[in-house]
């Protein structure tokens, strides 16, 4: 895992050891899917998208697709994908959902909708999906837990949160919003639940970090626009630095 974490929001980790590792009880190890690097789990729709797309908006006939946008690529490929540890059978009877699984770990439990429904702007059903994985982290490192980014949710969608991985010793579970209330079938082992993005915590301030740009910053902006007009791949070829190696 040491080559997965060369650069993150909040700083660069230059040490040989990764700031975050994932561990689980030995009886589950090699049995349940591991959190896998997100860049190995790129969604099929993205892989199928051509690098150049037909263009009906601008003057040119073709335009670079999202496949040429490295910012979009990084959103797909940062961190790890947390997956369901086993098959989960979903049954609907008399309008009620029930779940079944073949593991000694409770994979699914209901959550009170009162956790969010009193103020949340839509009616939701909340379910907790459990995994045996725990995070072991260096001091100051957290996990940003989000739905798998730019991957359309079908049956359920993880809620977002930040886990102080250097202080929390419990399992990584996810509260999910259940979208498809009519779904009945098998959620297969290895189905993506959440994307875990490592971040280095920094001190936050209540003050504003906004200001007018300086003359030097304005000149840099103009140089950037001139460069971008002459070469639309400026960001990809001259600015972007791959976060992931391996």
Residue 35 φ/ψ, nearest 5 degrees? -60, 120
Domains plus CATH for the chain?
2-239 (2.70.40.10)
State how far the alpha carbon of 81 is from the alpha carbons of 39, 76, 143, 148, in Å. 9, 10, 12, 7
Torsion of CA 53, 55, 60, 63, to 10 degrees: -30
Structure confidence at residue 31 (pLDDT) = 93
pLDDT in tens, 28-78: 999 999 999 999 999 999 999 888 776 665 555 566 778 878 888 889 999
Tokens of 15: 């040490």
CB-CB contact of 28 with 85 (8 Å) = yes
pLDDT in tens, 127-162: 899 999 999 999 999 999 999 999 988 899 999 999
């Amino acid at each position: 895992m040491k080559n997965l974490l060369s650069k993150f929001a909040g700083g660069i980790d230059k040490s040989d050891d990764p700031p975050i590792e994932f561990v689980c009880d030995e009886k589950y190890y090699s049995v349940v899917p591991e959190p896998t690097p997100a860049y190995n789990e790129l969604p099929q729709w993205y892989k199928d998208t051509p690098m150049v797309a037909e263009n009906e908006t601008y003057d040119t006939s073709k335009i670079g697709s999202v496949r040429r946008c490295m910012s979009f690529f990084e959103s797909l490929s940062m961190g790890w994908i947390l997956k369901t540890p086993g098959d989960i059978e979903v049954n609907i009877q008399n309008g009620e959902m029930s779940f079944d699984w073949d593991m000694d770990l409770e994979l699914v439990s209901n959550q009170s909708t009162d956790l969010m429904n009193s103020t949340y702007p839509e009616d939701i059903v909340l379910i907790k999906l459990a995994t045996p994985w725990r995070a072991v982290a260096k001091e100051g490192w957290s996990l940003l837990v989000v739905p798998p980014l730019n991957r359309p949710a079908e049956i359920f969608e993880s809620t977002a949160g930040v886990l102080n991985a250097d202080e929390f010793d419990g399992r990584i579970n996810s509260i999910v919003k259940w979208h498809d209330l009519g779904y009945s079938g098998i959620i297969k082992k290895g189905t993506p639940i959440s994307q875990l993005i490592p971040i280095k915590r920094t001190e936050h301030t209540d003050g504003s970090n906004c200001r007018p740009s300086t003359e030097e910053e304005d000149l840099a902006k103009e140089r950037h626009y001139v460069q971008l007009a002459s070469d639309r791949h400026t960001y990809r070829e001259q600015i972007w630095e791959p976060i992931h190696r391996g």
